[in-house]
């Protein structure tokens, strides 16, 4: 009886040692992994109910330096130009790099209006405009500014509610024969809700993919089912693997659209999960 009891205790002790060793090995592997080809960033829209000072503080807490900034609150005002410059200086002082502006809307098919938006991106020092609602008729005019400013134009799909850009495949049809700087921002949640596999959409878009907005859904057809990344059904690892396979050079920006008054718990969980996935793939993140 004593032998049986001792064996059981020994088994439990050894099991605990093995579990701890495995956890330590995973942690060490992640620490010693290769630099991640997936560059994680944040959409400032996640913090839409907070001012720029809070955005900067939240970015520090999340250990992030890449920001897709939007003209919301005082994150990155489009006008007056001095306000844009002030915001850019504040981010630079905090060690935050602006990687894109947007979502930026293009309501008019007019040179002056379009130029004002490209000037905004130029003042921000970015090479990507994430665009929300350009009409197909506006794209040839926009293409002229893309060539003039050498700024990539990434149309953001908004799912089944969008009158034009349901999925990245709709964007691809419109820009496929245009300047190679005309392309897509793939929102994986809206893509899935449009009935398109985000992984296949990324493969299809390929070199015209300039930005990725990451989110997760408990029900891949229901907008209101958004959860922290890792708590839903989004195939995050397959998305990362596909981005790596196509040598995607841009950022994967979290766009957390729920709990606007308290986004940090969900944002924190999302980055913990994404960094964990990359760690399991052998990368530091």
For the segment 229-233, the average pLDDT, to the nearest whole number, is: 98
> What is residue 19's predicted lDDT score, i.e. its pLDDT?
42
Query: Using 50, 70 and 90 to split pLDDT, how confident is the model at 156?
Result: very high
Q: Which two tokens stand for residue 205?
A: 């878009």
For the segment 12-34, the average pLDDT, to the nearest whole number, is: 47
Is the preceding omega at residue 262 within 30 degrees of 0, hence cis? no
Give the residue with greater pLDDT, 14 vs 270.
270
Backbone φ and ψ for 162, nearest 5 degrees, come out as: -70, 130
> Structure pTM?
0.88
Q: Is the pLDDT of residue 261 over 50?
A: yes
Rounded distance between C-alpha atoms, residue 199 and residue 220, angstroms:
14
pLDDT in tens, 112-154: 999 999 999 999 999 999 999 899 999 999 999 999 999 999 9
Q: Is the pLDDT of residue 284 over 90?
A: no
Strand partners, 209: 184
Rounded distance between C-alpha atoms, residue 87 and residue 72, angstroms:
12
Q: Is the dihedral of CA 261, 66, 83, 153 positive or negative?
A: negative
Query: Using 50, 70 and 90 to split pLDDT, how confident is the model at 8?
Result: very low
> What is residue 32's predicted lDDT score, i.e. its pLDDT?
60
- The answer regarding whether domain 38-284 maps to CATH 3.30.365.10 reads no
Residue corresponding to tokens 């020092």: 125
Please answer whether residues 98 and 122 qualify as being in contact, where contact means their C-beta atoms are separated by less than 8 angstroms: no
For the segment 207-219, the average pLDDT, to the nearest whole number, is: 98
Q: Which two tokens stand for residue 70?
A: 């939007």
Query: Using 50, 70 and 90 to split pLDDT, how confident is the model at 22?
Result: very low
Single out the residue of 157, 98, 101, 167 nearest to residue 132, CA to CA.
157
Single out the residue of 238, 283, 210, 267 nearest to residue 58, CA to CA.
267
Query: Using 50, 70 and 90 to split pLDDT, how confident is the model at 228?
Result: very high
Q: Which two tokens stand for residue 77?
A: 């005002």
The SS3 assignment for 138 reads: helix
pLDDT in tens, 26-51: 444 445 679 999 999 999 999 999 99
> What is residue 33's predicted lDDT score, i.e. its pLDDT?
75
Distances (CA, A) of 46 to 4, 59, 72, 240, 245: 57, 11, 10, 21, 28
């Amino acid at each position: 009886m004593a032998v049986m009891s001792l064996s059981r205790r020994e088994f439990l002790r050894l099991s605990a040692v093995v579990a701890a060793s495995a956890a330590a090995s995973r942690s060490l592997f992640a620490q010693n992994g290769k630099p991640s080809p997936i560059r994680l960033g944040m959409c400032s829209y996640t913090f839409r109910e907070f001012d720029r000072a809070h955005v900067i503080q939240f970015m520090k807490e999340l250990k992030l330096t890449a920001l897709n900034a939007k003209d919301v609150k005082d994150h990155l005002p489009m006008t007056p130009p001095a306000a844009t410059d002030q915001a850019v200086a504040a981010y630079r002082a905090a060690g935050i790099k602006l990687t894109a502006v947007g979502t930026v809307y293009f309501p008019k098919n007019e040179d002056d209006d379009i130029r004002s938006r490209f000037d905004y991106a130029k003042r921000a020092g970015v090479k990507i405009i994430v665009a929300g609602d350009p009409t197909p008729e506006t794209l040839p005019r926009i293409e002229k500014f893309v060539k003039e400013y050498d700024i990539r134009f990434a149309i953001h799909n908004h799912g089944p509610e969008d009158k034009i850009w349901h999925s990245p495949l709709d964007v691809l049809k419109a820009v496929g024969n245009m300047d190679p700087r005309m392309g897509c921002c793939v929102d994986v949640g809206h893509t899935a809700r449009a009935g398109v596999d985000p992984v296949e959409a990324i493969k299809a878009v390929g070199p015209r993919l300039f930005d990725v907005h990451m989110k997760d859904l408990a029900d891949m057809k229901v907008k209101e089912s958004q959860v922290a990344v890792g708590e839903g059904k989004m195939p995050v690892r397959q998305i990362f693997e596909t981005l790596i396979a196509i040598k995607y050079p841009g950022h994967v920006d979290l766009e957390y659209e729920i709990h606007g008054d308290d986004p940090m718990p969900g944002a924190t969980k999302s980055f913990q999960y994404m960094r964990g996935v990359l760690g399991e793939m052998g990368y530091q993140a």
